[in-house]
Amino acid sequence: MEGFKALGLSYKNTPIEIREKIAFSEVESTNFLLKLKEMFSVDEALLVSTCNRTEIYFSSGADLSDDILGLMASFKGIESKKLEDFIIRYDANEASLHLFNVALGLESQVLGDIQISNQVKRAYQQSADLSLAGPHLHRLMHTIFFANKRVVKETRLQDGTASVASVAVDLIGGFIGNISNPRIALIGLGEIGQNVLDNLNAEEASITLVNRTKSKAIKLAEGRNISVCDYSDLDNVIANNDVIISAVSTSTPIIGASNFSSKSIHKLLIDLSVPRSMDTDLDNVPGISLYNVDQLTERTLKARKVREKSIPDVKKIIEEELKGFKSWRSEMEVSPTIQKLKNALDQIRKEELARHKKLSDKEVELLETVTKNMIQKVIKLPVLQLKAACKRGEAETLVGVLNDLFNLDAAEIEKK
């Protein structure tokens, strides 16, 4: 579809200070899409917004890129000129390929990140619920989902644990396995802390959030079975949780051996801060398992190398599935011409039959059957040739020839 385009920004060229201003919550996404639908002539729209990217995909006969950018900026209360340096625009072919790459994890900070596939699925469901997913988007999304299944089955792009946050959660899962009613405290809710929180959603444990700005912790806890504690109550948080993850920005450690006076301790401490927020003297405290960023990063390197080796295979799958999608799209674009041709030939058939008024009912019935069969055989070759031309990318030429030969546009107007 020539009118299918996209625009957006991502972590690759946009600082978090800008990304967080243009990020959409689920409710905001719904309201924005409804506003988009109301204000512009948009046939389809898909809004993908995560901590790493905000992108809008849309189908329209007009080029609405500037208008949509203006609406996004206005909706989020930011001047559009502040976004111009970061916004990337994608035309029809680029938009479809980019959405493939995004949904399959090739564009993620964590190569092969499985979270993005689920986030794209939720965005698609939202579009469908708002009647903003038409034939083009439905087909594209289901092709992408099928490609993702192939990637999981045929490649190692999602093998192993490839992010510090997911490695941390793996450690936590192993640690709390034998603990009844485990308790986890997450201190610091910047990008890294939020990434850990997203990964923690699957863990069956009581989660407590602690942040210097408490309102941010409260907002992230909304609608979830998560507790929030004051930063000033840090000592109690440390004492009352089995797992403590720290992702705060600090020049000196905020947790040390002095925080643990009990002799019977069994705790997992994960320090994701740089500079470190947990003192190295914790290594000498019996019963405490302490991990820092470097130790977790070492665990990701092997998985990253395995995943990187899978990139050519993933791109090949995308190429194959995208080729099939483009073939379908081309056939959809020529289907009106096929229907016009059928209508034109059928009109000729009916006009010829109408000239013979002295035929009996039985003769009319016989001629109806014979002439319809003839039309089917006559049209079969042009249809096959059109479909073949679609695969070669030459459909436009053949459509023009058929229009000229049978004067299809004029015939369609005359019919109306």
**Rounded CA separation 268/242 (Å):** 6
Per residue, the 3-state secondary structure of 19-49, as one string, reads HHHHCCCHHHHHHHHHHHHHHCCCCEEEEEE
**Rounded CA separation 306/303 (Å):** 5
**Rounded CA separation 152/143 (Å):** 14
Q: Which residue carries 């249809």 as its tokens?
A: 383
- The secondary structure element, H or E, covering residue 137 is helix 135-154
Question: 169 in helix, strand or coil?
Answer: helix
Q: Is 229 a residue of the active site?
A: no
CA distance readout (Å), 394 to 136, 182, 330, 406: 20, 63, 10, 19
Residue from 51, 97, 239, 257 carrying the catalytic annotation = 51
- Spell out the residues 6+ positions from residue 57 whose beta carbon is closer than 8 angstroms to its own: 4, 5, 6, 44, 45, 46, 47, 48, 95, 99, 137
Cis peptide before 275 (omega within 30 of 0): yes
Judge whether 277 and 292 are in contact, CB under 8 Å.
Answer: no
Catalytic residues: 51
